[in-house]
Amino acid sequence: MEPPTPGASFLSTPEGSDRKAYTARSFSQPSADFVKRLQDRPDTVGSRHYSRILALAGGLPIKVGDEIVGAVGVSGTPGKDDDCSQAGIDRVADQLK
């Protein structure tokens, strides 16, 4: 299903962004890695049913050194959500020290 206007995003993209960031923070890894883990380890597939988890790329943890201090999530840029998340982190990287 496509959005009504070409290039527009669905209204659910704020929720998707939030859930991707939550997934990245909760599992201390990019949400795309979480997807891969579910595929590689079927015994962990139940974790995708937690209420705020979203098993899609676009969520990245934010680190200061080795410590995860938060996460960012992007939704609505098909195939480029991870790139957009990383661009956001890169933009504020000098403030994360």
- The CATH number of the domain holding residue 31 is 3.30.450.150
Boundaries of domain holding 71 = 13-95
Give domain status of residue 34, yes or no.
Answer: yes
Q: Which amino acid is at 22?
A: Y
Give domain status of residue 62, yes or no.
yes
51 located within any domain: yes
Higher-pLDDT residue of 6, 41: 41
The pTM (predicted TM-score) of the whole model is: 0.84
Is it the case that residue 87 has pLDDT exceeding 70?
yes
Residue 63 domain-assigned (yes or no)? yes
Backbone angles phi, psi at 70, to 5 degrees: 170, -165
Provide the 3-class DSSP secondary structure of residue 30.
coil
Instruction: Decide if 55 is inside a domain.
Output: yes
pLDDT at 78 (0 to 100): 87
Q: Name the domain count of the chain.
A: 1
4 in a structural domain:
no
Provide CB contacts within 8 A for 44, sequence distance 6+. Answer: 37, 38
Angle at CA of residue 20, ends 76 and 61, nearest 5° = 120
